[in-house]
Chain A
Amino acid sequence: MSSYDAPIKELGETYLLPEGTTANDVTETIAGVTENPAPRGWWLLFLLSLSVLGVMTAALAYLFYQGVGAWGNNAPVYWAWDITNFVWWIGIGHAGTLISAILFLFRQKWRTSINRFAEAMTVFAVLCAGLFPAIHTGRPWFDYYLFPIPNQMDMWPNFKSPLMWDVFAVSTYLTISVIFWYVGLIPDFATLRDRSKNLVRKRTYGFFALGWRGAHRHWQVYERAYLIFAGISTPLVLSVHSVVSFDFATSVVPGWHTTIFPPYFVAGAVFSGFALVMTLMLICRTVFKLQNIVTIKHLDLMNKFMLGTGLLVGYAYAMEFFIAWYSANPYEQWVFLHNRLGFGILDENGNWGPLWWAYYAMVFCNVVVPQIFWFKRARTSVPIMFIASILINIGMWFERFVIIATSTYRDFLPSSWGMFHPTGIDILTYLGTFGLFFTLFLLFVRWIPMIAIAEVKGTLPGAHPDLHALEAHDETPDAAAAPVPAE
């Protein structure tokens, strides 16, 4: 007799959390983070993030005062860091939904230790991303023209533009992500409410817990709602980044007009999203001593995802080159060989295509670095995965930059060739979004349970309805199963 989701001992499977972890341990560990005083490092980081957020505000104020000319983009590179950062942040956000929704549909129980964290990152990353479409317009105060609102001009947005679809994709994505995140939080807010010592805290968490009592009926409705949201979010996460990729794929620019973009962008999004979840989770796990809940087993699985999506991205890079050659289209071949790889005619100073280094940085970070995860020793080594995850995010930023800038700076007409140089405002705006992200993220870490308490408890041995039957047949996970190393 065995349960469908109990570990199969013969295959060497064990329960996700270390032997002997009780439901109380889980609650104490996770809820404790929001109840104990913040470590000094938290305050330092929070003040730093707030300052960086201030820098962003100043950069934006200057941008609105001066106009978009404050940035370095200009003919022929009309999109540069603004859209690069937009696509990058949106991509970061996609791992959250993948972990929450898609892994939920596949009944992957290991998602429980990271889904809350990843969903929060989704929400904050989408907020950072949503900023760029709004501010990269020359007249940002007219952005509301993008919404189909009846008005005295009898004017409607043009629904043929993928930038228009972006508006709907990103705003829907943000809304659904927030609701999905919040629905998951309700039982945990109730836990925090019930553990609160003072009335203000009790009432605050009580308000957000919406009167959750953990009744059978509550759980039944909750699980059904969660499944529906997972079902809605899954096509959403695939379509949102596809829509973002249409910004390029529907154009006629060589290097952009490619049918591989929608799945390739989604793979890249999951790749970079997992990498940032990894980077931040490794820090939080150490600082808040969550090693028993986010175990090496979880990290190992995340690294496998990065390897998998990294290979998909690498395949897409190769396929782009193959098609550029196979198409026999001189413009497309030029973009790949000259603009990206750097081969071709030299300019008057004897230089190659001047943005060649971005392509090589991208290939190194995105294709070479994840190959280390073929080795179990690397997949279970915290320093290696930490460095690799940071490199991957750098690489994914370069991927977007390469696609955007190196396709446009030298295209059809040599008379309209140009170059792109970022200005200080470009850089400060990008850095500033980290201030926004980390301010929200640090507040999240302190005030909201960063791991789904209720869901993690569902993976414990005690959560199995037929535990006693398993024990009676001596099939329960026992001391014979290999103990999981703490680190």
Chain B
Amino acid sequence: MQIFPRELNHLPLALAVVAGGLGASVFLLFWVYFTPPNLQVGYTPKQPVEYSHRLHAGELGLDCRYCHSQVERSHEAMVPPTQTCMGCHSVVRTESEKLASVRESWETDESVAWVRVHQIPDHAFFDHSAHLNAGVGCASCHGRIDQMEVVGVVEPIAMQWCLDCHRNPEQHIRPKSEVTNMKWEADEGWVAQRAEVAAALNPPMHCSGCHR
């Protein structure tokens, strides 16, 4: 007596297809989708003030360090306080609707609740000044901020991405005078000498470099 229908001969093939599909899904889920390039890149939250980096850094040509003033000296690239904004906006566009919450902050002494875009966990210590002094430009990590109406994440801020550069910094360093130059591109003279400069950097590859 046959206890299984003849069609069941296809069962191994069907199981193989299902197993293959499941395997591919797991791969897509964890190696492709649930990874920083997908989870972080493109994160562009709405800010309490419609601040435009394109206007200030791009069209008006402000140097990055005018607002993020401690970035060469501190581990933290500070978000400018209301005072910095009011340095101009107490006389420029004083009636603008878009600046209402900045003026309110000025009057009430309450900080503007900016939303942090580039987040790394507290167990990873990042030092801005060390990178700027080593010749890593703003654009290498943050992209062309001078062209962004609203700031978003461009690079995956993940350990692999950090280590790729620490292992091979040559491609990502520039003359220290050019770190805040958004439009800078390596010329032949720099390409000829950057390997030597990179060799002297010796970026940390050990745990305590960041996880201190």
B3 in contact with A155 (CB, 8 Å): no
Distance between Cα atoms of A199 and B5 in the complex (Å): 12
Distance between Cα atoms of A202 and B4 in the complex (Å): 9
The reply to whether the CB of A285 lies closer than 8 angstroms to some CB of chain B is: no
Tier of interface size on chain B: 10 to 19
- B160 partner residues in chain A, CB cutoff 8 A: 151-154
Chain A residue nearest to B1 in the complex (CB): A202
The reply to whether the CB of A150 lies closer than 8 angstroms to some CB of chain B is: yes
Chain B residue nearest to A202 in the complex (CB): B3
- A203 partner residues in chain B, CB cutoff 8 A: 3-4
Distance between Cα atoms of A202 and B158 in the complex (Å): 54
Contact pattern, B 134-164, Cβ under 8 Å of A = 1, otherwise 0:
0000000000000000000000101111011
B residues 33-53 near A (Cβ < 8 Å) are 35-36
- How near does chain A come to B164, taking the closest CB pair, in angstroms? 8
Distance between Cα atoms of A384 and B36 in the complex (Å): 63
The reply to whether the CB of A116 lies closer than 8 angstroms to some CB of chain B is: no
- How near does chain A come to B35, taking the closest CB pair, in angstroms? 5
Distance between Cα atoms of A154 and B160 in the complex (Å): 5
The reply to whether the CB of A255 lies closer than 8 angstroms to some CB of chain B is: no
- B156 partner residues in chain A, CB cutoff 8 A: 152
Distance between Cα atoms of A153 and B36 in the complex (Å): 10
Q: Which residues of A are at the interface with B, using a C-beta cutoff of 8 A?
A: 150-155, 193, 199, 202-203, 206
Chain A residue nearest to B35 in the complex (CB): A152
B159 in contact with A152 (CB, 8 Å): yes
- B36 partner residues in chain A, CB cutoff 8 A: 152
- B125 partner residues in chain A, CB cutoff 8 A: none
- A150 partner residues in chain B, CB cutoff 8 A: 31
- A199 partner residues in chain B, CB cutoff 8 A: 3
Distance between Cα atoms of A479 and B38 in the complex (Å): 80
Distance between Cα atoms of A203 and B164 in the complex (Å): 55
9 more CB-based (< 8 A) A-B contacts, given A150-B31, A154-B159, A199-B3 = A151-B160, A152-B35, A152-B156, A153-B158, A153-B159, A155-B159, A193-B3, A202-B3, A203-B3
Chain A residue nearest to B34 in the complex (CB): A152
Which of A152, A154, A203, A206 has most chain B Cβ within 10 Å? A152
- How near does chain A come to B2, taking the closest CB pair, in angstroms? 10
- A202 partner residues in chain B, CB cutoff 8 A: 3
A152 in contact with B158 (CB, 8 Å): yes
- B158 partner residues in chain A, CB cutoff 8 A: 152-153
Distance between Cα atoms of A155 and B156 in the complex (Å): 16
Contact pattern, B 146-189, Cβ under 8 Å of A = 1, otherwise 0:
00000000001011110110000000000000000000000000
